Structure 1
Amino acid sequence: MKKMTARMPSPDCMETAAHLSASARPPASIAMRSIAGRQTLRSKRCRRVGAVASRVLVVKLSSLGDLFHALPAVHCLKTGLQATVDWVVHPAYQELVACFADVDRVIPLARDVWSGALMGDVRALRAEPYDLIVDLQGILKSALASRLARGSQRIGPSFHREGSQLFYQTIAGPRNKDRHAVEENLDVVRHLGLPVLPPVFPVEFPMQLVGEPEPRVALIPFSRWPSKNWPVSSFVQTGRDLQEHANASIFLIGGAAEAAACEGMAKEFKGCIMNLAGKLSLPQLGGVLQAMNLVIANDSGPMHMAASLGTSVLAVFGPTDKKRTGPYGDRHRVAAGNLRCQPCFAKRCRFQDGSCMRAVTPKCVTTIALEMLHAN
């Protein structure tokens, strides 16, 4: 009986607009900037509004969605301090961060502390002195990287953990988890007394030629947590419904580990279907997502990438909090169940059945998707 009383599903999914601060709405399209022609300014301490820091080091090691959530804060630092910005990241994301328009140099840091490449990475980390070091990861490894770097100021995030706060000189803002991750990252901008600009996500991805006719709909059926995955059968049914009612071209997106599963899904479609799982680098994925009219996804890194690019996103949520990690922007929408156990933040459903994700029906998602396609 305990299991039954813990969950009270609604008859169908709840649908909401994605969370966004009314005072800071990003533009519908991606902000594009030129990387060339950046000028290094003279070094000063960045302790007050209007001060200039010639060199800023950002430490944000991973993961895919978190990197995009940091971009508005990095843009404010770049603009407000008139600084060059270097970024420390895990090697898996090095090629991606090189596409961030506000970043002048990418410094890879090996994920494995016992890796033979680590000492070389540390030498690169210490090659230049910095006026300001900003850790936007808030874990022990990122704090150690911040401490190893040569800098006069080290600032950590309000969401620090693992004892990382011991390595910072100051913490940016009080801990407040009842807001979007983008807003959390902006705490460091407020702490420095810099202007908090309307959030933008300056990224330059190589254009991908997509010949399939519009509307183009990307389905991203997998995430890192099993509990966040909407049933594959629901993705297939929604995609087939969009082919029938909107004549949509369907694109399946996933990593190499999901390629076989996506190939099986592709066989369930009769119309235009492209399986791109395991075939794209992260910059190529960004170019493909830019060419989409709509992305339907779980709470995942590619979902946040698409939202940051200004592509309309319909996200299916269950165990995680849409207020905190929903697609950021007012053109996106979220479909979610309505169970008492939500959000549980568990990687695996404690009831073993993923009820919160199954509570979101293909009919619900298809209805919202058609509305979004017609609005676009």
Structure 2
Amino acid sequence: MKILIISPSWVGDMVMTQSLYITLKEQYPECSIDALAPKWCLPILEKMPQINQAIEMPLGHGDLDFKVRYQLGKSLRNKSYDIAYILPNSAKSALIPFFAKIPKRIGWKGEMRYGLLNDLRNNKKSFQYMVERYVSLAFPKDKMTGSGCLGDIHSLPKPKLAINEQIRNSILGKFNLSLAPKIIGLCPGAEFGPAKRWPEEHYGTIAQELIKQGYQVWLFGSVKDRATTDKIAYLVNDADQHKVVNLAGNTTLNEAVDLLSCCHTVVSNDSGLMHVAAAVGCNIVGIYGSSSPQYTPPLSNHVEIVHTDIECRPCFKKECPYQHLKCLKDLKPNTVMDCIQNFIKTEEK
């Protein structure tokens, strides 16, 4: 059986899709799975053993370009795919497998996808977690009645990205990094918006405390996060600056994935890197502001979730509707430090 996946465009969502690929491989051990994804997500797919080929999507997020989609779909016809799983909800995401003439095209009901999909699922909201929505597509429609039919979320297959130790060592050498003392990673960015970002001052406080306790701190993020990580590093005492490594904007996504795997614990906003860190085996302290762990939790057995319980959260907004960001500002650094200490004490037992 040959399968084509039309992948989502967000890094965190991409990581969670691995649970679907693992499920498909369990059902059809001899199947071959290819995935079509934006260029920036390809490094994630390439670290998934279940994927035969990661195919670059030539269009950016939101671009329609009907002609390019037709040409790409037509070029895929000779691959003779049996099934396509269309994971985004847009109509345009369903065009390529339609043009590729893939016999069975499975996905959730979205914007004007009638005809483009011939196995259309219409009960997405019956599944609480995003990972359930992905995994359920691997099963017949009549059996997927809602959360619980797949078992407990903890029983679902968890993403596990493959790390090549030799490549990782070369990346450590490139950035002149050492694995001692123990590393705590901080991921203070969130592409979605400021309502997901814990204040830099709070990150700076825990960075200083961790260094005081004998750890080194690595800061992760994209070029867009560099101003944030610069501020966090600045908040650390001058005498301790050598214990802070500011990697934001300096690494490729591929390099960031490998370096995250070196961390004992990662403290992160609800972001793509949080899901990456979970998938490479780190302990996770997940900080939730406007979003909810009841929808997109990090998929790991080693997770501490922290959030405030003020009345207006979760609002799922990019920016605070009340302009106070209390859901994040009122979440104090000592709460996060307690979670980190819990992981350390557990390992020491």
TM-score by length of 2: 0.84
Distance in 2, Cα, partners of 1:115 & 1:233 = 46
1:175 counterpart = 2:124: yes
Aligned length: 320
Change (3 A) 1:233 1:150: same
Distance in 2, Cα, partners of 1:304 & 1:164 = 29
- 1:234 alignment partner in structure 2: 202
1:201 counterpart = 2:159: yes
Give the structure with the larger helix fraction.
2
**More moved, 205-214 vs 194-203:** 194-203
Tell me if structure 2 keeps the 8 A contact 1:173–1:191: no
1:103 counterpart = 2:70: no
Q: 2:134 aligns with which of 162, 165, 185?
A: 185
Deviation at 1:118, TM superposition (A): 5.8
Change (3 A) 1:133 1:114: closer
Gaps of 5+ in 1: 1-53
Deviations 1:298-340 (A, max 9, x none): 0000001111222111011111111111212231011101011
Tell me if structure 2 keeps the 8 A contact 1:154–1:169: yes
Q: 2:282 aligns with which of 311, 317, 338?
A: 311
Deviation at 1:123, TM superposition (A): 4.7
Q: CA RMSD in A?
A: 2.4
3-state SS in 2 of match to 1:263 = helix
Gaps of 5+ in 2: none
Q: Which residue identity is paired with 2:181?
A: E
**More moved, 141-150 vs 335-344:** 141-150
3-state SS in 2 of match to 1:150 = coil
Change (3 A) 1:120 1:178: closer
1:215 counterpart = 2:182: yes
Deviations 1:172-210 (A, max 9, x none): 472236522112211112327799784032422344234
Q: Which residue identity is paired with 2:182?
A: P
Mapping of residues 1-376 of structure 1, within 5 Å:
54-81=1-28, 82-109=30-57, 110-111=59-60, 112-114=63-65, 121-157=72-108, 160-172=109-121, 174-176=123-125, 179-191=128-140, 198-207=156-165, 208=168, 209=172, 210-224=177-191, 225-244=193-212, 246-270=213-237, 271=240, 272-376=243-347
3-state SS in 1 of match to 2:123 = coil
Identity of aligned residues (%): 21
Tell me if structure 2 keeps the 8 A contact 1:156–1:165: no
Change (3 A) 1:151 1:264: same
Larger RCO of the pair (alpha carbons < 8 Å, separation 6+): 1
Q: Which residue identity is paired with 1:312?
A: N
Deviation at 1:102, TM superposition (A): 0.7
Q: Which residue identity is paired with 1:59?
A: I
Distance in 1, Cα, partners of 2:274 & 2:235 = 23
Distance in 1, Cα, partners of 2:67 & 2:220 = 33
Distance in 1, Cα, partners of 2:90 & 2:7 = 10
Distance in 2, Cα, partners of 1:303 & 1:349 = 21
TM-score by length of 1: 0.79
Deviation at 1:58, TM superposition (A): 0.8
